[in-house]
Amino acid sequence: MQSAAYSLSSPCSIPSLKPRKFGSRAGFQPIRVSSSFAAPERHEHSVSLPNRSWRLSSSSSLPLRAWNLVPSDSKPDRFEVRATAAESAGEGEKSGSLVKILELGLLFGLWYLFNIYFNIYNKQVLKVFHYPVTISAVQFAVGTIIVSLMWTFNLYKRPKVSGEQLVAIVPLALVHILGNLFTNMSLGKVAVSFTHTIKAMEPFFSVVLSAMFLGELPTVWVVGSLLPIVGGVVLASVTEASFNWPGFWSAMASNLANQSRNVLSKKLMVKKEESLDNITLFSIITIMSFILLAPVAIFVEGIKFTPAYMQSAGLNVKEVVVRSLLAALSFHAYQQVSYMILQRVSPVTHSVGNCVKRVVVIVSSVIFFKTPVSLINSLGTGIALAGVFLYSRVKSIKPKAKAA
């Protein structure tokens, strides 16, 4: 396409030009439009055109540079464009930050919601189906199916695990089995709210086990935060309507097992080149837990999760099976979401969120099951949970290094 270049700037009588003739106004600034093939014999005319964002400069060697009587606003234009770009970038960052906050909020909501459903459905099943080992095996079986589907359809990358890593994971799987098994045993014996009140003592076991096996001595602030936890649990236990020793000790054993898993994770999985991310490690532990627990469940309790047995026991087969599967799905989902949150926030923030989650579970279970709660019992639970929150905050306080 030929470029029609015409120069409207003239070396002849510039003062004789009348911008009004071309419809321009006094506030407009002239621009130079040049031609690459204009005949030198033709007169070139200079006009004042409205200021545009485009500019065609002259390729002619005619002396027209003195025409620029009005200061050019090219620099302000550049400044304005850059400022607008910077503002757009700032808005983009704010928008991205808002999206991340919304995503994190959604994950926290799902974490709490799945946990509530797990405890409610699990309690309903364990009240009528008194086989906690079988229920635990079913939960691990459903988790194994979910993990297998994730790896099969590439929803999450299938890991390459060495034999040495599998050997190191076996102790983690064992304590993971015990932690969930003892929790189910406690839920079958006492109220959901009381089980979670006792499980609020997890920080106490974490501090003791870390000091014994990792040499991590607690600070004065950490020890101080443990006092209201222990005192609150004792006060709640004394006034608990559903209290019984099997349910109490099962919940305490669950605390010991779960915190042992955390300590073993730190002690055994220390090589960075062999480390696994949290979700992958949890997936492998889930599969290994099912493989280890399934034969134990059959040996200890027999094959009880069948329609024939449940009908003979006078149970509603459909209700037991559906609620067991929903509890298992919720169990795996809330732990999966918990690890997803842990990848996005600091351990302290995750610990605070876990404390809030326990409060939500206790309150929702009390409302759903209409659990009788006395004023003293509520006070003890509140003190214990406040201690857990305080513990999660003081854990972030690092001791000052001693001067040499």
Q: What is the pLDDT of residues 121-159, one digit of tens each?
A: 999 999 999 999 999 999 999 999 999 999 999 888 888
pLDDT of 162: 86
Average pLDDT, the chain: 80
Which segment, 9-13, 106-110, 346-350, 390-394, is predicted with the most confidence on average? 106-110
Q: Give yes or no for residue 13 having a pLDDT over 50.
A: no
Whether the pLDDT of residue 360 is over 90: the answer is yes
- The band of 161, judged by pLDDT with boundaries at 50, 70 and 90, is confident
Q: How many CA atoms lie within 13 A of 318 on its CB side?
A: 0
Give the model's confidence band at 346: pLDDT under 50 very low, under 70 low, under 90 confident, else very high: confident
What is the C-alpha to C-alpha distance for residues 104 and 110, in angstroms, rounded to an integer? 10
Q: What is the pLDDT of residue 98?
A: 87
Q: What is the mean pLDDT of residues 261-285?
A: 74
pLDDT digits (tens, 9 = 90+) for 14-61: 444 444 444 444 444 444 444 444 444 444 444 444 444 444 444 444
Residue 272 has pLDDT above 90, yes or no: no
Q: For residue 227, what pLDDT is reported?
A: 93
**Contact residues for 240 (Cβ-Cβ < 8 A; gap 6+):** 190, 191, 194, 197, 377
Percent share of the chain, pLDDT over 90: 49
* CA 103 to chain centroid: 8
pLDDT band at 178 (very low <50, low <70, confident <90, very high): very high
Instruction: Round to whole Å and give the CA distance between 152 and 146.
Output: 10
